[in-house]
Amino acid sequence: MYLDHRITVKIARILDMVDMSALLLDAAGNVILPEGDQRAFTIPEELRQNPTVPFVYGAMTLIGTGEEQPVYVCLHGDSEEIKKCAVLCAELINLLLREDMSQTSREQALRMMLRGEVEGSEFESLAAEHEIPMQKSRCVLYFYFQDMEVETAIGLMTNTLEDEEDLITEVGHHSVAMLKVAEGEDGLSEVEEFAKAFESSFLTETGSTVFIGISDAREDLVSIPDAYEEARNAINVGRIYHANKHVFIYRNLLLERFLSDVSPEMGAIYNSCIFNRTTARLFNDEMVHTIETFFDNSLNLSETARKLYIHRNTLVYRLEKVQHAIGLDLRNFDDAVTFKMMMLLGKGGGNRRFRL
């Protein structure tokens, strides 16, 4: 269960009144409150079976807020007074959550649908209640605002909605999801243009970075949880292999998604066949930038030289140095593919800790 900022503020007030270093955990054991705490705990199976009964675990008392999709209160200590306090906190938080769920807004309904927290008849009834059409071609865009709280970001995004059926909702303390209409043959291309324009204007206006993941289009609203995961994964994978980019399209990351499934250890072994102590001086920042630009321009010598502001013969000389050192002629498609895969495998171990 995702708790938006409005609810976490209310729950934080309850926990602040408990002088026992109180924590709020999600179903996976990750700390929700206090914000910024990156710890994760193991939820004992006994507690999962009976979440509303206080459970003492490692000098801590844990209790869930309800039987279905509970969050967990964690208090330090195991006395009877602390157990009673834990029960009281859990009941108060449960009342807040029930009240919030009974007054589901359109944004909350969209968030629950995107995250797969409703299904079947409940999914359809929420869509009907909030007048969200079940059948329409749409993409999910996931926005991760690295240096900005979500409330501010949503305020800035409100004016970007181009169609009255485009919807946005908070999905994290720094994240927003958008359900955007993408109809016709050019629908996905138009969504990409929108994302790139937004990223550029956002940087200009705020000086902050936003990462945007774009899913494949879906015709049926029921399938948007899959599209939501695609948009998130586009950022997770794209940031590993394309450090200088900020807009990532899921369908364009097929090779990168494949390589991300290779273990870091195996990737390092193959990467070292090309990038090692012997070739370290050759593959300096300038040479790597030259090669990446060459790849970005589809192995076109003239266009690459123009982009790099160098003579075409200078570019040829650099590529011939690579061929002499490692035996791969990057002007040859097969050799270029081999080199790129080995280069990407080296990036695969660098940024895997970042996951949305």
Rounded to whole angstroms, the Cα distance separating 313 from 301 reads 9
Nearest to 39 by CA among 60, 57, 25: 25
Task: Going residue by residue through the chain, which has 356 residues, state the pLDDT in tens, using 9 for 90 and above.
Answer: 556 666 677 777 777 777 667 888 888 888 888 877 888 888 889 888 888 888 888 888 988 888 777 888 888 888 888 888 888 888 888 877 776 655 567 888 898 899 888 878 888 888 888 889 999 999 999 999 988 888 888 888 877 776 778 899 988 888 999 999 998 888 889 999 999 999 999 998 888 899 999 999 999 999 999 999 999 999 999 998 888 899 999 999 999 999 888 888 888 899 999 999 999 999 999 999 999 999 999 999 999 999 999 999 999 999 999 999 999 999 999 999 999 999 988 886 555 556 77
Under DSSP, is residue 28 helix (H, G, I), strand (E, B) or coil?
coil
pLDDT score, position 353: 53
- For residues 318 and 287, is the Cβ–Cβ distance under 8 A? yes
Calpha distance 2→12 (Å, rounded): 15
Q: What is the pLDDT of residue 81?
A: 87
Task: Specify the pLDDT at position 318.
Answer: 95
Domains of the chain are 5-102 (3.30.450.30), 106-256 (3.30.70.270), 262-347 (1.10.10.2840)
Q: What number of other Cβ atoms are within 10 A of residue 142's Cβ? A: 29
Q: Which sign does the torsion angle of CA 29, 32, 33, 39 carry? A: positive
pLDDT score, position 340: 92
What backbone torsions phi and psi does residue 212 show, to the nearest 5 degrees?
A: -130, 125
Residue 346 to residue 269: CA distance in whole angstroms: 9
- Which residues contact residue 194 at a Cβ distance below 8 angstroms, ignoring those fewer than 6 apart? 160, 162, 180
Report d(CA 119, CA 238) in Å as an integer. 30
CB atoms near residue 8 (< 10 Å)? 17
CB neighbour class for 309 (10 Å; exposed up to 12, middle 13-18, buried from 19): exposed
Give the closest residue to 100 by CA, choosing from 120, 78, 75, 71: 71
**Non-local CB neighbours of 309 within 8 Å, separated by 6+ positions:** none
- Whether the full predicted model's pTM is greater than 0.75, yes or no, is no
Q: 34 burial class (0-12, 13-18, 19+ CB within 10 angstroms)? A: middle
What are the strands, taking DSSP E only, across the chain?
23-25, 31-33, 55-56, 60-64, 72-76, 135-145, 167-172, 175-181, 210-214, 218-220, 247-249
Angle at CA of residue 169, ends 14 and 203, nearest 5°: 105
| Rounded Cα gap, residues 176 and 103, in angstroms | 21
The number of C-alpha atoms within 13 Å of 17 and in the hemisphere containing its C-beta is 10
Rounded CA gap, 322 and 330, in Å?
8
Please tell me what DSSP assigns to residue 30. Answer: B
Rounded distance, CA 201 to CA 206, Å? 8
Please write down the long-range contacts of 155-160, taking CB distance under 8 Å and 24 or more positions apart: 156/202, 156/205, 156/206, 160/194, 160/198
